Structure 1
Amino acid sequence: MTEKEKMLAGMVYEAVLDEDLKEDRLKCKDLCFAANQLPPSKIKEQSEIFVSLFAKAGEGFYITTPFWCDYGYNIEIGKNFYSNHNCVILDCAKVTFGDNVFVGPNCCFATAEHPLDETERNRGLETARPIQVGNSVWFGAGVTVLPGVTIGDNVVIGAGSIVTKDIPSNVVAVGNPARVIRSLENSGLYRIVPLKEVYAKDICGWKYEGEYSVYSYSSWEMAIRNHWEIADAKVRGQEYRGVLNKAGELTGYFKMHQDENGEVEIGLGMRPEECGQGKGADFVKTITDYVKKQYPESLVYLEVRLFNQRAVKCYEKAGYQVVCEHDSIKPWGTFRYKRMELKKED
């Protein structure tokens, strides 16, 4: 096999001294140099160079120079691809971008890996693993994506992140190494707003049926008379939020309270008519994403009445797990609860 064939097959290959690969790299660098030297107004001429350089270039792409890559023939970009200044793609293996991918300035996509063994490394040996990026992905400034990474659709990678492992679809990931910090699956389904008094009055009129009637408030007047938190404007403003649907209607609410240990407990309720219709997991995920944004370093947990297996299953779908059972004293009595904590990201 030639060194190029080994490189494309993901095998160990001689990268530095092989004449064929050296010739390919120099040809590529000359084309990058030519594009980089053109005035910014020469968009058509720059695009023609990149079309000749890449294996595939979708319609409507725009690359802000300077831009550099190793070979070019291992790069595929989809429709409406955009990269800002100083994008570097080390395409010793295939690098594929879907449609509507936006790359911030100073980003690097590196497929090459060098041996840990100094003798092999000093001989110029290396391997390469492909990088694959889905549709509708936005890379913030200064992101580095390392060999073998696959990134799903509808993903945001925060500025300065180092992506060392696969990132699933519909998430925001940040950090070194990049970790998922929130979901985008529910983006647009619900909107979090302050819990105004008019919403609180509405909630106090919600009536749940059967065994779930324990979650019903008696009335707004009773809430005021008994000094319940939902009727206290100060507490409501600090810890309570309303959840609106796409139509702007109140579909639920939640309370977030940080205890003396720095842990954040969530208490929540969904409009009775909305319960039992398969909407709960998305509802809880939306609330959880909001709370984690407010308290990014805190453990988040829920407490669920022992009988309420429907809620337990819903919370499990939303990323929580049961950690224990215990008695808990509430204003309305002492009851047995399951404590469910939000799972930590790997």
Structure 2
Amino acid sequence: MNKHVLDYRVTNPKSGGPSFSLKNRIIRALWIVVWAVFASWTPPFMASWRRSLLKLFGARMGPGTCVYGSARVWYPPLLEMKSGAALGSKVNCYNQDWVVLDEGALVSQGAHLCAGSHNINDESFQLITKPIYIGKNAWIAAEAFVGPGVTIQDDAVLGARAVAFSDIGRGMVFIGNPAKFLRYRKNAGKQP
């Protein structure tokens, strides 16, 4: 993780001021406008164009990655997608901290990756951020939710509308709210 993006962290929570630096807020405002004007309306086959825009704003995008035009990325410098990874239509990538999708990882339509929350016991409602990691060939199904600090290991599946606030092991299939183990995915590499 490069040092040039570390200014996204909380600035001065006790002051009652903004949680993010002025530079971060300017980049995000510009990003919202650029995505709305140049990418949000584009058809699926224009993935390379959208990938170029994300790279321009600091995202690390591997070959063959795809972010649909209707997907929302909160802060591109904290997004890393390795080859063949995809964010489907209407995905909300709320990456206040790092979100990393390894090779072939798929986040399906309407899913929500949320790398931030708040300390409800702090009088200033302090922002807390933790990175999210989605492993190789893992699948986050439609409208699922992945919370701050969660690791979804290689070949794992989080079922449709499931909610994960803890890690999911290699090749495991989780469903429900809260997500519970269902079974191992068949042909999902070496299982424990």
With the shorter chain as reference, the TM-score category is: 0.7 to 0.9
Residue of structure 2 equivalent to 1:32? 35
Residue of structure 1 equivalent to 2:159? 158
- 1:59 to partner: Cα distance: 0.8
Contact 1:32–1:69 (CA under 8 A) maintained in structure 2: no
Task: State the Cα deviation string for residues 102-153 of structure 1 (Å, max 9, x = none).
Answer: 11110111111112147413xxx41211111110111110011000111111
Q: Which runs of 5+ in 2 are unaligned?
A: 1-5
Residue of structure 2 equivalent to 1:63? 67
One of 74, 78, 85 as aligned partner of 1:81: 85
Any residues of structure 2 matched to 1:164-243 within 5 Å, and which? 164-184=165-185, 187-188=186-187
Provide the secondary structure at the position in 1 that maps to 2:9: helix
Partner Cα separation in structure 1 for residue 7 and residue 21 of structure 2:
12
Task: State the Cα deviation string for residues 183-224 of structure 1 (Å, max 9, x = none).
Answer: 23xx359xxxxxxxxxxxxxxxxxxxxxxxxxxxxxxxxxxx
* Greater C-alpha radius of gyration: 1
Contact 1:154–1:169 (CA under 8 A) maintained in structure 2: yes
Contact 2:48–2:66 (CA under 8 A) maintained in structure 1: no
Q: Which amino acid aligns with 2:169?
A: P
- 1:170 to partner: Cα distance: 1.1
Provide the secondary structure at the position in 2 that maps to 1:37: coil
Residue of structure 2 equivalent to 1:22? 25
Closer, same or farther: CA 188–140 of 1 in aligned 2, 3 Å: closer
Q: Which runs of 5+ in 1 are unaligned?
A: 190-284, 286-316, 318-346
One of 116, 129, 133 as aligned partner of 2:120: 116
Closer, same or farther: CA 15–130 of 1 in aligned 2, 3 Å: farther
- 1:42 to partner: Cα distance: 3.6
Contact 2:144–2:158 (CA under 8 A) maintained in structure 1: yes
Partner Cα separation in structure 2 for residue 44 and residue 188 of structure 1:
31
Any residues of structure 2 matched to 1:219-298 within 5 Å, and which? none
Q: Which amino acid aligns with 1:58?
A: G
- 1:56 to partner: Cα distance: 1.1
Residue of structure 1 equivalent to 2:98? 94
Q: For this pair of structures, how many residues does the alignment match?
A: 182
Give the TM-score taking structure 2 as reference length. 0.82
Residue of structure 1 equivalent to 2:9? 7
Question: What RMSD, in angstroms, separates the aligned Cα atoms of the two structures?
Answer: 2.8
- 1:12 to partner: Cα distance: 5.9
Contact 2:158–2:173 (CA under 8 A) maintained in structure 1: yes
Contact 1:8–1:93 (CA under 8 A) maintained in structure 2: no
Partner Cα separation in structure 2 for residue 135 and residue 42 of structure 1:
24
Provide the secondary structure at the position in 2 that maps to 1:165: coil
Provide the secondary structure at the position in 2 that maps to 1:127: strand
Residue of structure 1 equivalent to 2:3? none
Closer, same or farther: CA 166–135 of 1 in aligned 2, 3 Å: same
Residue of structure 2 equivalent to 1:343? none
Partner Cα separation in structure 2 for residue 30 and residue 97 of structure 1:
25
Partner Cα separation in structure 2 for residue 17 and residue 81 of structure 1:
28
Closer, same or farther: CA 99–20 of 1 in aligned 2, 3 Å: same
Closer, same or farther: CA 78–176 of 1 in aligned 2, 3 Å: same
Residue of structure 2 equivalent to 1:51? 55
Give the TM-score taking structure 1 as reference length. 0.48
Partner Cα separation in structure 1 for residue 128 and residue 187 of structure 2:
42
Aligned sequence identity (%): 19
Closer, same or farther: CA 73–85 of 1 in aligned 2, 3 Å: same
Provide the secondary structure at the position in 2 that maps to 1:120: coil
Closer, same or farther: CA 43–76 of 1 in aligned 2, 3 Å: closer
In proportion to residue count, which structure has more strand? 1
Residue of structure 2 equivalent to 1:268? none
